[in-house]
Amino acid sequence: MRRLDPQHVRYLLIGLLIGGITAAHYGTSTEYYYLHEVYQRSYYIPILLAAFWYGPLGGLAAAALTSIFYSYHILVHWGHSPVYSFNQFAEILLFHAIGALTGFLAQAERRQRQALEKTTAELQRAYQRIEQSFEQMKQADRLAALGQLSAGIAHEIRNPLATLAGVIDILGSGVPAESHKAEFAKIGQEEMARLDRIVTEFLAFARPPQPSFQEADLNEIIDSTLLLLSHQAEKAGVTIARNLAALPRVTVDPDQVRQVLLNVIKNSIEAMPDGGRLEVRSAHQAPDGTVSVAVTDSGAGIDPAIIDRLFDPFFTSKPAGTGLGLSISYQLVTRHGGTIRAIPNQKGTTFEIRLPVAHAAATIATAGNS
């Protein structure tokens, strides 16, 4: 069954009220003077409704329609009473005055309500920005404390690690390949390499270098990153789809942005161990003056219970992960004045990175170097 348009329902209601009251006038004998007085005042109902719904023009239109039907009734049925007829015609003028005045008041109230709704929406957006800034401040405090701790640990461990790696290489050299000692030496070398990678990530997290800003093409950075990871994606059975829009040049540190993209895209590939589809999109977000990169995978997705902790340092859901890749990415994006977030989809996850366009980033660079 087709649903009636609310506008049509309103028109119909106003028309039925005016038509019904007019029919009552014509169908009631003039002997019942008091009933005609009631009918006459009843015309104000459709006039006020039209004025409230459609403003002064609506009120005047309803009053005009009423006066057309009612004037004929006055001339035909009350022509024998000039005094009463004059009063009725004066009432018709009052119909128009009431319709116009009520319409203006309703229009002013509607504008005021719209202004209040707009102000409320702006306040809500401002509150969300303040809340986001507060969360970023808390994240920055955690990063600063943990960064200092990580820097100290990494600095103290790195030199002994290099020594131990050298010792294992020496002990493993000259050992027959079929010997158990060769197998143990290989395991030791792999574990030392893993420890070295962890320490390197610690240092990158604890002492991230200041961005070296320069003009760059973000799409070119995306392409070079995808080229670096193409072998890993092919090996994992992941198909990569590029959907890159025309972007303005931005002022960024290309190496740091590439590192962020490497971390995010690699993370998305690892989220699809049985293969899948990875889509990388870029866009120019003109209203807020940013460019964005969205990386969407078709993996199993992220548990909503942990999605808010993804960028916390040392938090990881992977057995062999350090929990620093996304934290470092968050740190680097923030230093660029941008944002990074994870968005759960019906299937898989989207990581969205937003960076300011050239003039905003240049301002940040100037402030960072002062």
User: DSSP of 83-128, one letter per residue?
Assistant: HHHHHHHHHHHHHHHHHHHHHHHHHHHHHHHHHHHHHHHHHHHHHH
User: Residue 16 domain-assigned?
Assistant: yes
User: Residue 226 domain-assigned?
Assistant: yes
Q: Which residue has the tokens 């019904």?
A: 20
User: Residue 77 domain-assigned?
Assistant: yes
Q: Is 73 exposed, middle or buried (0-12, 13-18, 19+ CB in 10 A)?
A: middle
Task: Domain count for the chain, please give it.
Answer: 2
CATH assignment of the domain containing 258: 3.30.565.10
User: Residue 153 domain-assigned?
Assistant: no
Q: What is the C-alpha to C-alpha distance for residues 49 and 59, in angstroms, rounded to an integer?
A: 8
Whether residues 250 and 356 fall in one domain: yes
Q: Which of 337, 329, 323 is nearest to 291 (CA)?
A: 337
User: Residue 264 domain-assigned?
Assistant: yes
| Whether 271 contacts 349, CB under 8 Å | yes
Whether residues 215 and 316 fall in one domain: yes
- The residue among 119, 144, 162 that closes a domain is 119
Whether residues 361 and 239 fall in one domain: yes
User: Residue 130 domain-assigned?
Assistant: no
- CA angle, residues 177, 182, 186, in degrees to nearest 5: 115
Whether residues 217 and 342 fall in one domain: yes
User: Residue 348 domain-assigned?
Assistant: yes
Which domain range does residue 261 map to? 211-370
Whether residues 108 and 228 fall in one domain: no
pLDDT by position in tens, the chain (length 370): 566 677 788 888 888 888 888 888 788 887 777 787 787 888 888 888 888 888 888 888 888 888 888 787 777 766 667 766 677 777 888 888 888 888 888 888 888 988 898 898 889 888 888 888 887 787 777 766 766 676 666 667 766 777 777 777 777 777 777 777 777 777 787 777 777 777 766 666 666 677 888 999 999 999 999 998 998 999 999 999 999 999 999 999 998 999 899 989 998 998 888 889 999 999 987 677 789 999 999 888 887 777 777 777 666 666 555 667 788 888 889 888 899 998 888 888 999 999 998 644 344 443 444 3
User: Residue 160 domain-assigned?
Assistant: no
